[in-house]
Amino acid sequence: MAKSTSSDVLTLIRSLRSAYAATPTNLKVVYMGIVGSFPFNSFLSGVLSCVGTAVLAVCLRIQVNKENKEFKDLPPERAFADFVLCNLVLHLVIMNFLG
Amino acid sequence: MVAPVEPKPGGTLRNAFGGVLGFFILLLIGVLAFSIRLFSVIKYESVIHEFDPYFNYRVTQFLTKNGIYEFWNWFDDRTWYPLGRVIGGTVYPGLTLTAGTMWWILNSLNIPLSVETVCVFTAPVFSAFAAWATYFLTKEVKGIGSGLTAATLLALVPSYISRSVAGSYDNEAVAIFALIFTFFLYIKTLNTGSLFYATLNALSYFYMVCSWGGYTFIINLIPMHALLCIVTGRYSSRLYIAYAPLVVLGTLLAALVPVVGFNAVMTSEHFASFLVFIIIHVVAFVYFIKGILSPKMFKVAITLVLTVGIAVCIAVIAILVALVASSPTKGWSGRSLSLLDPTYASKYIPIIASVSEHQPPTWPSYFMDINILAFLVPAGIIACFLPLSDASSFVVLYLVTSVYFSGVMVRLMLVLAPAACILSGIALSEAFDVLTQSVKLQLVKLLEGPLSNSGDTKDENSTAQNDVLKADKQVATNNKTEDVKERPSKKNRKKDKENTEKAPVKSHNEKRLLALPLEASAIAIILLVVLGSLYVIHCVWAAAEAYSAPSIVLTSRSHDGLHVFDDFREAYAWLRHNTEVDDKVASWWDYGYQTTAMANRTVIVDNNTWNNTHIATVGTAMSSPEKSAWEIFNSLDVKYVLVVFGGLVGYPSDDINKFLWMVRIGGGVFPHIKEPDYLRDGQYRIDAQATPTMLNCLMYKLSYYRFVETDGKGFDRVRRTEIGKKHFKLSHFEEVFTTHHWMVRIYKLKPPKNRMKGKTKKPKHTSKPLSGARRDGSTKKNPWQ
């Protein structure tokens, strides 16, 4: 019983995670495999944009998680502001790099 | 003298004054860092130093004159003739942009400084910034006291002074600040777990990428630290926040710098960061699952995750290996390879090996460059291990890697210097803490004896006891530090003896406090102050005497006073005023940057050394006999040839001493130049015993032409010998200018004769290299015909 529950949970998490973060990247990579990576900077910025947003979202969720004891002194407002700033920088760079 | 003691009040005063005092001490440290680097301006003048700074200066001038867009598109046709060089895409723009911005700000504030002045003083200004960055970094690791000590040490460390005296306008000047600041922000992010600092960290990394090729050190060191944390079980979400955004943002930002471009994702130097990026995600995922599952279920789940993870890892590694194996140099650039394998450069790339700063350092140079820090560092390492935190483990890792790198290349001693400063700052500060604490304690006890009934003393005593309780643990742990540091001195044994002798006499709680006796700690403090003073004296000496010479103006002190040799600028000024604007000047590549910057004439090769064949062509010409050299130079459209000759005044780094490298580099591309032809029994000599090839090559002739007229014997003061061939004439070159001390000699190529005196146009290709002296120019040796 226990095993089936755990694997259920696992599959759930993994499907969620992959649906949430990795799909666009995978699509990109698949696209690259098919079409080729000629405008390499466009491809790169596309992939890194996806990865970057995913990473930042993970960071944000770690920080605003109520059960996480490590960030007691970091108010969620601050975390959100940081997240917005970071995303802003990221996407400014992406836009610049897109060529 | 005061400097090492200075940080003491900032370290202990934990009251309101502490902040203000600390601020002023920081300010003073900045002033100190700035002013100790002004010796070169005071002793010489406000000039740009050496070789590379002249190029940076020229680029900055272009930038301030033409603006940023022109700068990115700048194709320089005055160098590497006839190839030219794309400056905008091949230069690290951080330094020039910084100086250009500073100049622009000053000018818009109506402070009319010249570009040169700004360039000269960029390095000292940034060394003050670097000292402050060191303060912040060390403060994050070990507290304010250590921070101030480390900042003071960094402001003075000779290794850094050597690269950042006023006028030394080179990439390292700003890069070291960027390096330390990036590390500080990484540590700060690691300690706070704030995305804001992570963003700043990425931006600071961007600045570092702009400034110096040494940014690969950061992008390998930080992953190493992240991996270390994971392996030792110190993973936390703060580590994730510090690392993951840095990789993504940092990679993107690095790819924005033209000179790096797609290298940021394509070369092996950066793969480590991506690998650790994947690993940290796997680990984060594991921790995440561990958090939401019960321990029992986790055990079951972990096998599943492990199999998936291992499969992914294997796939990634396979891809990486395939990528790396497919690229010709395994994806590593020559300099990085010679870092991993110290013998690589000398085996395969003579042009990297020929640069003296790429060679391994000697032991004395360690003592010269970091002085007493070398002895304080072990103590600092121990201090870092007692409570080991993420931050202190980072500092230790930084030190260990930089020690290795500095052992490979003398130039990277510069990277070691901040690490050594931080660790010895920690060591010094901790030692002072322990010693002054125990002095304080002992004084209290001395007072306690006669006045045991006084409430005042009791009060004082109780506060002191509180202090002690607080510091108790620290004292206990730091005794070890103290011991290690004092080991070389014999005072240590004496102190131990005193400690055991006086232990029974002291009061009952003495044993728990583990304080040192008064005399011993007083002596130790004095010794530390003396040690610090020695360091300061050494640093000031190094700054004033050893590292301030601009190397374009030379001085020598002899019995009849001070001699100034300003021959280089004399020669460049001559070129600037007496030759046509479009004339091409050939010289060995060392003088390329200076010729373009100071004489504004087109050169064939310069210090950028991006085209080995081109340099080899010049090397071949210099080591060929006159006629074939003339043909090579003529085919390159060269009008003037410039050689540097130190034989008259004893200037050791002249072209004759560099000549073997010309032969080697030339021979690497054009095999008819053979090194043994220039050596007599494996020895390099220019006297009568020298080989005929040597005595007939162009470099010899241009250097020693008419030399015998100076003293009648032709005595070379550098080689300390009489030259081998004294009286000869030049058939294809004519001397047009020789500077006052004969240090720079400029020759003009004679125009081709109208009539070839019955000579066939196509000379035979000499089959045997034995007759090297009479070798005629063959068509093959010259790629430009």
> For residue B454, what pLDDT is reported?
42
> For residue B28, what pLDDT is reported?
92
Average pLDDT score over residue span B508-521: 62
Average pLDDT score over residue span B557-573: 82
**Residue bearing tokens 């040799």:** B565
- Please give the Cα distance from B78 to B54 (Å, whole number): 14
Q: Which residues contact B468 (CB under 8 A, 6 or more apart)?
A: B437, B441, B475, B513, B515
Dmax of chain B from CA atoms? Answer: 118
> For residue B456, what pLDDT is reported?
41
Tokens of B543: 């700054």
- Please give the Cα distance from A91 to A86 (Å, whole number): 9
More confident residue, A13 or B617: B617
Is the Cβ–Cβ distance between B77 and B198 less than 8 Å?
no
> For residue B303, what pLDDT is reported?
76
Asked if pLDDT for residue B544 goes beyond 60, the answer is yes
Q: Which of B195, B199, B244 sits opposite A79 (nearest CB)?
A: B195
β-strand B584-586 against B602-603: which pairing, if any?
parallel
The predicted-structure confidence for B63-73, as pLDDT tens digits, reads as follows: 888 888 888 88
More confident residue, A47 or A23: A47
- Please give the Cα distance from B583 to B732 (Å, whole number): 18
**Percent of chain B predicted with pLDDT > 70:** 79
> For residue B758, what pLDDT is reported?
53
> For residue B515, what pLDDT is reported?
65
Average pLDDT score over residue span B265-280: 81
Q: Measured between CA atoms, how close is A90 to chain B, in angstroms?
A: 6
Residues of chain A found within 8 Å of residue B262, distances taken between Cβ atoms: 40-41, 44
> For residue B472, what pLDDT is reported?
40
- Domains of chain B: which residue ranges? 429-546, 564-753+769-774
Average pLDDT score over residue span B394-414: 85
Q: Which of A3, A48, A62 sits opposite B241 (nearest CB)?
A: A62
β-strand B602-603 against B561-565: which pairing, if any?
unpaired
Burial class of residue B231 in the structure, from the number of CB atoms within 10 Å of its CB (0-12 exposed, 13-18 middle, 19+ buried): exposed
Tell which of A1, A5, A59, A61 to mutate to test the B interface (max B CBs under 10 Å).
A59
Task: Lowest mean pLDDT of A18-27, B2-11, B240-249, B572-581, name the range.
Answer: B2-11
> For residue B253, what pLDDT is reported?
87
Highest mean pLDDT: which of A62-66, B5-9, B340-344?
Answer: A62-66
Average pLDDT score over residue span B545-567: 80
Residues of chain A found within 8 Å of residue B240, distances taken between Cβ atoms: 58-59, 62
> For residue B484, what pLDDT is reported?
38
Average pLDDT score over residue span B362-371: 81
Residues of A engaging B, defined by a Cβ cutoff of 8 Å: 2-3, 5-7, 9-10, 13, 17, 40-41, 44-45, 48, 51-52, 55-56, 58-60, 62-63, 68, 70-71, 74, 78-79, 81-83, 85-86, 89-90, 93-94, 96-97
> For residue A26, what pLDDT is reported?
59
Q: Do A70 and B194 touch (CB under 8 A)?
A: no
- Please give the Cα distance from A8 to B286 (Å, whole number): 16
Confidence band (pLDDT; 50, 70, 90) for B503?
A: very low
The predicted-structure confidence for B52-64, as pLDDT tens digits, reads as follows: 888 889 889 888 8
> For residue B635, what pLDDT is reported?
87
**Percent of chain A predicted with pLDDT > 70:** 52
Task: Lowest mean pLDDT of A67-81, B102-116, B132-146, B534-548, name the range.
Answer: A67-81
**Percent of chain B predicted with pLDDT > 90:** 6
Asked if pLDDT for residue B509 goes beyond 50, the answer is no
> For residue B180, what pLDDT is reported?
92
Highest mean pLDDT: which of B609-613, B636-640, B780-784?
Answer: B636-640
Confidence band (pLDDT; 50, 70, 90) for B132?
A: very high
Q: Do B203 and A90 touch (CB under 8 A)?
A: no
- Please give the Cα distance from B376 to B421 (Å, whole number): 9
Asked if pLDDT for residue B613 goes beyond 90, the answer is no
Residues of chain A found within 8 Å of residue B253, distances taken between Cβ atoms: 93
Asked if pLDDT for residue B7 goes beyond 60, the answer is no
Tell which of B185, B195, B289 to mutate to test the A interface (max A CBs under 10 Å).
B195
> For residue B351, what pLDDT is reported?
62
More confident residue, B38 or A76: B38
> For residue B204, what pLDDT is reported?
92
* Average pLDDT along chain B: 78
Helix (H), strand (E) at residue B564 = strand B561-565
Closest CA to B88 of B103, B118, B66: B66
Highest mean pLDDT: which of B476-485, B614-623, B685-694, B764-773?
Answer: B614-623
DSSP A32-79: HHHH--SSHHHHHHHHHHHHHHHHHHHHHHHHH-TT-GGGTTS-HHHH
- Please give the Cα distance from B66 to B596 (Å, whole number): 18
- Please give the Cα distance from B60 to B98 (Å, whole number): 9
- Please give the Cα distance from B614 to B638 (Å, whole number): 14
> For residue B356, what pLDDT is reported?
67
Highest mean pLDDT: which of B85-94, B229-238, B433-442, B525-534?
Answer: B525-534
Q: Do B262 and A40 touch (CB under 8 A)?
A: yes
At residue B366, the 3 state secondary structure works out as helix
Per DSSP, B36 falls in state G
Average pLDDT score over residue span B531-538: 89
Asked if pLDDT for residue B625 goes beyond 70, the answer is yes
Q: Does domain B564-753+769-774 have CATH number 3.40.50.12610?
A: yes
**Residue bearing tokens 């108010």:** A75
Is the Cβ–Cβ distance between B568 and B594 less than 8 Å?
yes
More confident residue, B668 or A22: B668
Residues of B engaging A, defined by a Cβ cutoff of 8 Å: 192-196, 198-199, 202-203, 236-238, 240-241, 244-245, 248-249, 251-253, 255-256, 262, 265, 284-285, 289, 292-293, 296-298, 300-301, 304-305
Is the Cβ–Cβ distance between B301 and A5 less than 8 Å?
no
β-pair partners for B625: B697
Average pLDDT score over residue span B435-446: 82
The predicted-structure confidence for B175-227, as pLDDT tens digits, reads as follows: 999 999 999 999 998 888 888 888 899 999 999 998 888 888 888 888 888 88
Is the Cβ–Cβ distance between B602 and B582 less than 8 Å?
yes
Asked if pLDDT for residue A81 goes beyond 70, the answer is yes
